[in-house]
Structure 1
């Protein structure tokens, strides 16, 4: 990282971030945009360092559904291949002398699907010990698989989440005869989040006693906690004499590498549970000399407030 030597000595440092102090041992940003740590774990076998439940719970919905369909199609393909290998003649209802081999395999596949789901239409049935044993094994596998899938579905629907969207950019904006660092967020689902609290930390690589170290600075906020996250919330860090950004110019932001880490937690009264999320902004994502545009307005009848979530990153350039 580039070194910025004008860090305000009055800025409050933080030693509780959980990140190391040696910048040479850390690559890229500290926190990804989705709030996850930018860390790859090694040193133990892959299966030992992966929690499949957490992985399935954290997947996007389309990937989660896709994996379930691929598993369903794949396992039925395997069982259909075993039925075909044992012999189609051991499946009553399939004429082993008529039709192509692909047609016979297709019928074995659909028999497998009916057995796996325990539907059992009765058009095709197993005969012989091996085929019956395989069908019994597949039925048990299907019951266990659907039990696991049901648990995963329930976990995804019932797990409390902080449905909060952040602005893509952070701004250096006018603020009370000075400037401030600002980001904006809003709850984008029909959730009711109360007692929302924010924490913001700046991470930079600086020179200290002749060596490079990672230093973290607490960014004080104008409002650290609000009663309810009903509309948008702009987090404001005033750039005053106690701010680590004090004395920064546009050129300093352009030539210095740093990252602002944001953590949000709130209470979801539907789940009666605390939810949390986070994100980060590197200096390349900071727009110097801009202010956010309004996100909400009254409707035509002046009876309701409209929150335009598509304007969360909308800003206008201003002169500082």
Structure 2
């Protein structure tokens, strides 16, 4: 059997040279250097959808000024081709470009040569395309569905029905419903295979209830640590040694926009506390009604202190 060795070109090596560093801080993985091997400028559509609104507006403003400045220079190159514009005035032809690009047409300045009309035609076409693109991007940013789900600051391992149980809380911060909500919990940790190869392995954690018809207020997520659990016979020290991380993913249909929304969270090894329990947030009034007090949503109690 023959094997072919593929050699990378110089350009391919330059693209692969920058390293992506994985560091562990507070028990969580942090990936650094992502921008070194991948630039968002290669995917401008994704960049314009993901940057904050301030950055989006700044980029649009810079592009708008640059386009008008370019056409202003083109008009200046044509000499005295714009009526009522001062000869050689960059400001006059710049603002004429603004009027043309936005299809304002005040009528005070207008093209008077074939060269100027040609540039105006090109700029008008670019203006139509630019308005369509910017409108689509703005609408995509506004209409992008998002969930406002809060998670408890820590996860705890507490007894439930006589078995240690991993528990954390989630709550819907909006006043609407997330229909057919589903939650998945994954355990990521470093392991060594039988062949001695180190790898980062992902385990699915089975939950007592992984879905609900409507996620309205709060959700206490529970995973029983029995002999079938990946967390079986693990301790706080072994979680740190294996760089364990819990990754949570929630998805459902937002009843307001009728679109699928997602939320995710993660807990590092230092954020999984043993022998603690959450403070009860469900209370009863004197007349028999129930209410939830989110003031204690993140509060926990040590089992050693309560016993």
Shorter-chain TM-score bucket reads: 0.7 to 0.9
8 A contact 1:80–1:109 mirrored in 2:
yes
Larger RCO (CA within 8 A; separation ≥ 6): 1
| Deviation of the 1:190 alpha carbon | 4.5
Q: CA deviation at 1:303?
A: 9.6
- The separation in 2 between residues aligned to 1:81 and 1:303, in whole angstroms, is 73
What root-mean-square deviation, in Å, do the aligned CA atoms of Structure 1 and Structure 2 show?
3.8
State the alpha-carbon separation in 1 of the partners of residues 134 and 282 from structure 2: 41
Does the alignment pair 1:243 with 2:243? no
Select the structure that is richer in strand: 2
Separation in structure 1 between the aligned mates of residue 169 and residue 68 of structure 2, nearest angstrom: 48
Instruction: Note if contact 1:164-1:188 (Cα within 8 Å) is conserved in structure 2.
Output: yes
Q: In the TM superposition, what whole-angstrom CA distance separates every residue of 1:105-160 from its partner, at most 9, and x where no partner exists? A: 22322221111111111222222222221122111111111011112222233333
Partner in structure 1 of residue 220 of structure 2: 234
Query: Aligned residue pairs: how many?
Result: 276
Distance 1:234 1:28, change over 3 A: farther
Task: Give the alignment partner of residue 95 of structure 1, picking from 78, 86, 90.
Answer: 86
Match of 1:132 in 2: 117
* Cα offset, 1:230, TM superposition: 1.1
Over 3 Å counting, the alpha-carbon distance change for 1:66 and 1:41 in structure 2 is: closer
Is the partner of 1:28 in helix, strand or coil? Answer: strand
Partner of 1:78: 70
TM-score, scaled relative to structure 2: 0.72
1:172 and 1:179 in contact (8 A); partners too: no
Alignment-derived partner of residue 13 in structure 2:
none
Structure 2 counterparts to residues 117-128 of structure 1, below 5 A: 117-128=102-113
Cα offset for 1:231? Answer: 1.1
Pairing partner for 1:68 from 32, 44, 60:
60
The answer to whether the 8 A contact 1:171-1:290 is kept is no
Partner of residue 246, structure 2: 260
Structure 1: stretches of 5+ with no match in the other structure: 1-24, 30-36
Q: Is the counterpart of residue 142 in structure 1 residue 127 in structure 2?
A: yes
Distance in 2, matches of 1:243 and 1:232, equals 25
Q: What TM-score does the superposition give when structure 1 sets the normalisation length? A: 0.70
Structure 2 portions without partners, runs of 5+: 1-18, 24-30
Using the alignment, how far apart are the partners of 1:70 and 1:64 within structure 2?
10
Answer with 111-120 or 180-189: which moved more: 180-189
